[in-house]
């Protein structure tokens, strides 16, 4: 007898499952893939290097309760994420900060730094739109430099857009950090699970009230019909938390929800190091957006090194591709609402997570949402 059926063993499903299990509910998690962990799954490649199969994931949060909850299932390797942009062969810290300023604007940098500090204050984040509005041509020059060399080409690749299709309000939000801190995130809690994400999931799901069923598509076991939920043909009166792709589940009856996907190209080198930091963004050239060198992310001590190039593309084939980034425009959100409306007409059927809610979540965001949902359902 199962009280709660959870579809998907990513952070959404696993966190909700664990909390409900601890409250005494019998939980079954059904996962389509042959592994747990959702898109945060990591594993060893053929060379013994720990890699993230679905792209690099770094844990960071300001939310103490999320950090405390996940810390029950892992220790942390104290990794602080610093990203470099490769701009015509020169490495520049991003987001653009005072270190970047001095590398790029050399003899003008001291004067621009003073201007930034006196106008906006030390440690502030200044959107480039504000710099553009400034009457000082040197500040405008900084804004133009960032737009052209850090933002434009990268964003075009990421979202498959032409320059004129890029929303100026989004462009304007790209920040300059009036600080010498090269950190990519400003969150209090940052790190990588010491033994990897998959062992974190294994510990979270190890509970007498949790059963995990892998390699099973919910579409083959779960049916929603005339206000009732059926599991393997029998009416199911427990709770269902669905974290899969909601359009697929309803046979795309209103149309397919658009996503961007990523194609990864993995390479191994005998050398100990490939690039200066774990993640380098390619912001002016190359078809890939970034390269991740995994041992620099995970802290693994291993001979040789494995890297992954990341190529964004339109999501066209659900059998061969993974939907990664939802494309949140009015049209797509209106389409999503149709699925949401249909799902919400079934009592005890809850949508949770990046695919079911058609919404980007960071790990901490989905963990918090799953914790809240589980609390209300227990």
Ligand X SMILES: Cc1cc2nc3c(=O)[nH]c(=O)nc-3n(C[C@H](O)[C@H](O)[C@H](O)COP(=O)(O)OP(=O)(O)OC[C@H]3O[C@@H](n4cnc5c(N)ncnc54)[C@H](O)[C@@H]3O)c2cc1C
105, 134, 209, 219, 283 from 95: Cα distances, Å: 16, 20, 44, 42, 12
Question: Which residue do the tokens 């300059």 mark?
Answer: 176
Does 31 bind ligand X (CB under 6 A)? Our answer is yes
Instruction: Indicate the pairing of strand 59-61 with strand 50-52.
Output: unpaired
Does 40 bind ligand X (CB under 6 A)? Our answer is yes
DSSP for 26-38, please give it. Answer: -EEEE-SSSSSSG
365 by Cβ neighbours in 10 Å (0-12 / 13-18 / 19+) ranks as middle
Per-residue binding string, ligand X, 156-195, x by CB under 6 A, is ----------------------------------------
Distance CA 361, CA 33 (A): 20
Candidate segments 29-37, 87-95, 173-181, 287-295, binder of ligand X by CB under 6 A: 29-37
Please, what is the minimum distance in Å from the beta carbon of residue 259 to ligand X?
9
For the chain, the straight-line distance linking the first and the last C-alpha, in angstroms and rounded, comes to 17
Closer CB to ligand X, 40 or 176, in the complex: 40
Near ligand X by CB under 6 A: residue from 245, 257, 307, 308 = 245
Does 11 bind ligand X (CB under 6 A)? Our answer is yes
Does 16 bind ligand X (CB under 6 A)? Our answer is no
Near ligand X by CB under 6 A: residue from 6, 10, 86, 87 = 10
Closer CB to ligand X, 63 or 302, in the complex: 63
Does 13 bind ligand X (CB under 6 A)? Our answer is yes
Does 236 bind ligand X (CB under 6 A)? Our answer is no
Please, what is the minimum distance in Å from the beta carbon of residue 145 to ligand X?
27
Q: Kindly identify the residues of this chain, within the stretch 340-369, that bind ligand X according to CB under 6 A.
A: 353-355, 361-364, 366
Closer CB to ligand X, 324 or 349, in the complex: 324
Closer CB to ligand X, 172 or 365, in the complex: 365
Please, what is the minimum distance in Å from the beta carbon of residue 166 to ligand X?
20
Please name the residue ranges forming H helices in 152-209: 153-159, 168-172, 197-205
Does 55 bind ligand X (CB under 6 A)? Our answer is yes
Instruction: Indicate the pairing of strand 42-44 with strand 50-52.
Output: antiparallel
Q: Kindly identify the residues of this chain, within the stretch 208-227, that bind ligand X according to CB under 6 A.
A: 217-219
Candidate segments 37-45, 71-79, 251-259, 281-289, binder of ligand X by CB under 6 A: 37-45
Q: Kindly identify the residues of this chain, within the stretch 88-127, that bind ligand X according to CB under 6 A.
A: none
Does 243 bind ligand X (CB under 6 A)? Our answer is yes
Does 39 bind ligand X (CB under 6 A)? Our answer is yes
5, 42, 365 from 200: Cα distances, Å: 21, 10, 17
Joined tokens for residue 23: 């409250």
Candidate segments 11-19, 65-73, 89-97, 157-165, binder of ligand X by CB under 6 A: 11-19
Please, what is the minimum distance in Å from the beta carbon of residue 290 to ligand X?
10
Joined tokens for residue 292: 């991740």
Instruction: Indicate the pairing of strand 279-282 with strand 259-269.
Output: unpaired
Closest CA to 13 of 339, 367, 376, 375: 367
Closest CA to 198 of 51, 41, 73: 41
Please, what is the minimum distance in Å from the beta carbon of residue 15 to ligand X?
8
Near ligand X by CB under 6 A: residue from 4, 5, 8, 241 = 8
Please, what is the minimum distance in Å from the beta carbon of residue 362 to ligand X?
3
Instruction: Indicate the pairing of strand 325-326 with strand 259-269.
Output: antiparallel
Provide the angle, in degrees to the nearest 10, between the axes of the packed helices 137-146 and 98-120.
Answer: 140
Q: Which residues make beta-bridge pairs with 267?
A: 307
Residues in contact with ligand X by CB under 6 A are: 7-13, 30-33, 38-40, 55, 57-58, 217-219, 243-245, 249, 262, 324-325, 353-355, 361-364, 366
């Amino acid at each position: 007898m199962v009280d709660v059926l959870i579809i998907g063993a990513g952070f959404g499903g696993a966190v909700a499952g664990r909390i409900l299990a601890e409250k005494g509910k019998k939980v079954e998690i059904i996962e389509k893939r042959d592994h747990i962990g959702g898109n945060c799954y990591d594993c060893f490649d053929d060379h013994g290097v720990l890699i993230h199969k679905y792209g690099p994931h770094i844990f960071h949060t300001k939310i103490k309760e999320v950090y405390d909850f996940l810390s029950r299932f892992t220790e942390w390797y104290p990794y602080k994420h610093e990203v470099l942009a490769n701009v015509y062969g020169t490495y520049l810290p991003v987001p653009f900060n005072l270190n970047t300023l001095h590398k790029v604007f050399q003899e003008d940098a001291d004067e621009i730094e003073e201007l930034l500090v006196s106008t906006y204050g030390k440690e502030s984040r200044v959107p480039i739109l504000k710099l553009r509005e400034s009457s000082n041509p040197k500040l405008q020059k900084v804004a133009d430099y960032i737009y052209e060399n850090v933002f434009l080409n990268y964003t075009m690749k990421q979202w498959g857009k032409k320059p004129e299709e890029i929303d100026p309000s989004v462009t304007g939000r790209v920040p300059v950090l009036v600080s010498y801190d090269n950190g990519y995130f400003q969150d209090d809690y940052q790190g990588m699970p010491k033994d990897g994400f998959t062992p974190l999931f294994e510990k979270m799901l190890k509970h007498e009230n949790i059963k995990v069923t892998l390699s099973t598509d919910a579409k083959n076991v779960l049916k929603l019909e005339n206000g009732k939920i059926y599991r393997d043909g029998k009416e199911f009166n427990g709770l269902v938390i669905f974290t899969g792709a909601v359009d697929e589940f309803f046979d795309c009856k209103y149309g397919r929800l658009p996503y961007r996907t990523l194609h990864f190209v993995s390479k191994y080198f005998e050398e100990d190091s490939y690039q200066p930091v774990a993640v380098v963004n390619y912001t002016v050239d190359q078809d890939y957006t970034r390269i991740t060198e995994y041992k620099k992310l995970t802290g693994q001590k291993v001979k040789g090194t494995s890297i992954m190039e990341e190529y964004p593309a339109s999501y066209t084939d659900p059998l061969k591709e993974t939907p990664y980034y939802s494309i949140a425009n009015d049209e797509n959100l209106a389409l999503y609402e149709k699925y949401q409306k249909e799902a919400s007409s079934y009592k005890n059927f809850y949508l949770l997570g990046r695919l079911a809610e058609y919404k980007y979540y960071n790990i901490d965001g989905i963990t918090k949402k799953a914790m809240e949902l589980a609390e209300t359902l227990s």
